[in-house]
Amino acid sequence: MAEIKSGDANGAGNLERPASNFIHNIIDRDLRENRYEGRPVYTRFPPEPNGYLHIGHAKSIYLNFTTAEKYSGKCNLRFDDTNPVKEDTEYVESIKADVRWLGFKWDGLFFASDYFDRMYECALILIKKGRAFVDDLSAEEIRQYRGTLTEPGRESPFRGRSVEENLSLFEGMKEGKYADGEKVLRAKIDMASPNINMRDPVLYRIARAEHHNTGDKWRVYPMYDYAHPIEDAIEGITHSICTLEFEDHRPLYDWVLAELEWPLPPRQIEFARLNLTNTVMSKRSLKELVDNGDVEGWDDPRMPTVAGLRRRGITPEAIRDFCERIGVAKANSTVDIALLEHCVREDLRRRVESRNVVENPVRVVITNYPEGGAETLRLENNGENPSLGTRSARFSGELYIDGDDFMEKPVKKYFRLFPGNEVRLKGAYFIKCEDVVKDSAGNISELRCTYDPATKSGGGNEQRKVKGTIHWVDAKTAMRIKVRKYDYLMLEGESSESALNPDSLREIEAFAESSITDAKPGERYQFFRHGYYMADETTDSEKVFNLIVGLKSSWKKVTV
């Protein structure tokens, strides 16, 4: 196992400084030394089509594509479809859509299965060189023979087979003469190697399975460690960027290409995979959540999948900003999900309009407002960005305010509405609470208030200041909407079912100002003082809004 140290320079704790990129340093050196004899820098993103992409993949996509861009090079999208059983074309399509949505364009689109013939020929070369042999040991026996970290392995009794015998047995494997697991093709390297990956690793296995691309043409399938370097080399990849768990596999990657005498072989570089708090990140765990019905599907807005983040309302720009800020490191660490939220807020802050939405509504009656009267006010769409203009809102003597904005017995430093106190209604007037009316059960049925006509917002003739500003909606024209509040999927950053957050989805009703009727599915808003929301894209009969991210950050470490 690779030694993994924590606290590397780019670990999650050091986000204030610009992320340095050790991968670019390696590429710079290769270019200086002309290692690739003038060929362009060429990278690839190589997903296995066995699930939907998640934000960890987004990090890898970002890294591969922006690295190619930086060096005016190229980047391929390659489906690593060497395992026929778990792969599916549904995943292929979703992965393509996700990469495009993130804003990247691949130079070549390839499938590892396109190279099965070539890989087979390469295996014949290795057999002829005496570097590969057909083994009859079972998977279990191979494990037993492999040895441990402290003990060398033992050579297979079939290791001494002649080239001719190996060639004919391997052909038999290909032709389907043997059952799954009956034979494998193994590299002949060194059973005493301190690196277990080099102890005669398996190169090919028998699998009588239908492949999504090649159908039943093949009965043998290459193993990842053998296939990957060949795929890279065929495509002219110069820098093969992968995650840290492959560090110990690099000697095998290099061995395969060296034995095949490949000119200018690609260089494998490992970086730390992204882990995020309060969610799970492996496709296998995410698939379990989907299969168990813990979430609605791969694109459930609580999922860390690219499809889920998209449905949540998070933009590709925010995801790219996040990937840039986390940088790349050579040591595993866990990034606080609050950093992602921070990027989402920063992205939406100046670009979306706000709307007044009231939760747990409390009725306000303005006793000195002209009876039955109403007026139209102009409200700013974005206080920080005047170019987003204004909208009209009806104001009258009957309003709703947020339940949180009133306290009958205020706590210390509560500056919102309470009996005897005056606040500003955002974009409207000052109101003062004169009386609290309750029903027979003791619940507040309305707040009787007075307003000061001289304090109309924008009038510039306010005589006094108030400490609190709250928002409101007109009672008569307010729209009832459904609001879905999402919380973290996991209580901790664990993948175990027990860590599932039972309250990751709450649905409430709220009152919105009438202009919310114009919201089209997929449109984003700031619900003033509440958070960022997106009109749900999958329901159109009723107005449903999904929480993208709340307004307040729990993230303290980021300085902006």
Q: By CB under 6 A, name the binding residues for ligand ATP.
A: 46-48, 56-57, 59-60, 242-243, 273-274, 281-284
If binding is defined by CB under 5 A, does position 245 make contact with Mg ion? no
Identity of the residue numbered 12: A
Beta strand pairing status for 531-535 and 524-527? antiparallel
Cβ proximity to ligand ATP, 142 vs 242, nearer residue: 242
Q: Is 205 a catalytic residue?
A: no
Least CB distance from residue 11 to Mg ion, whole Å? 24
List the one residue from 8, 30, 48, 248 that touches Mg ion (CB under 5 A).
48
Least CB distance from residue 48 to Mg ion, whole Å? 5
> How far is it, in rounded angstroms, from Cα 483 to Cα 535?
9
Please check whether residue 398 is in contact with residue 474, taking contact to mean a CB–CB distance below 8 angstroms. Answer: yes
Please check whether residue 544 is in contact with residue 485, taking contact to mean a CB–CB distance below 8 angstroms. Answer: no
First CA to last CA distance, the chain: 39
> How far is it, in rounded angstroms, from Cα 491 to Cα 457?
44
> How far is it, in rounded angstroms, from Cα 217 to Cα 40?
35
Cβ proximity to Mg ion, 83 vs 421, nearer residue: 83
Least CB distance from residue 328 to ligand ATP, whole Å? 9
β-partners of residue 470 are: 425
> How far is it, in rounded angstroms, from Cα 108 to Cα 231?
13
Cβ proximity to ligand ATP, 77 vs 535, nearer residue: 77
Site map (CB under 5 A) of Mg ion, residues 264-303, x = contact: ----------------------------------------
Please give the residues from 118 up to 157 whose contact with Mg ion meets the rule CB under 5 A. Answer: none
Least CB distance from residue 555 to Mg ion, whole Å? 30
β-partners of residue 120 are: none
Cβ proximity to ligand ATP, 146 vs 287, nearer residue: 287
List all residues 6 or more positions away from 242 whose beta carbon is below 8 Å from its beta carbon.
268, 269, 270, 271
Cβ proximity to Mg ion, 54 vs 355, nearer residue: 54
Cβ proximity to ligand ATP, 59 vs 342, nearer residue: 59
List the catalytic residue out of 86, 146, 159, 273.
Answer: 273
Q: Which does 281 bind (CB under 5 to 8 A by kind): Mg ion, ligand ATP, none?
A: ligand ATP
List the catalytic residue out of 283, 311, 325, 345.
Answer: 283
Task: Estimate to the nearest angstrom the gap between the alpha carbon of 493 and the chain centroid.
Answer: 14
List the catalytic residue out of 48, 324, 359, 494.
Answer: 48
Q: Which does 46 bind (CB under 5 to 8 A by kind): ligand ATP, Mg ion, none?
A: ligand ATP
Least CB distance from residue 327 to Mg ion, whole Å? 23
Least CB distance from residue 284 to ligand ATP, whole Å? 6
How is residue 211 annotated by DSSP? B
Q: Is 48 a catalytic residue?
A: yes
Residue 257: count other Cβ atoms within 10 Å of its Cβ: 20
Residue nearest to Mg ion (CB): 48
* Cα radius of gyration (the chain): 31
Tell me if residue 531 falls in helix, strand or coil. strand
Task: Estimate to the nearest angstrom the gap between the alpha carbon of 443 and the chain centroid.
Answer: 44
Buried b (16+ CB within 10 A) or exposed e, 420-441: ebbbbbbbbbbbbbeeeeeeee
Residue nearest to ligand ATP (CB): 56
Q: Is 155 a catalytic residue?
A: no
For Mg ion, the binding residues (CB under 5 A) are 48
Residues recognised as catalytic: 48, 273, 283
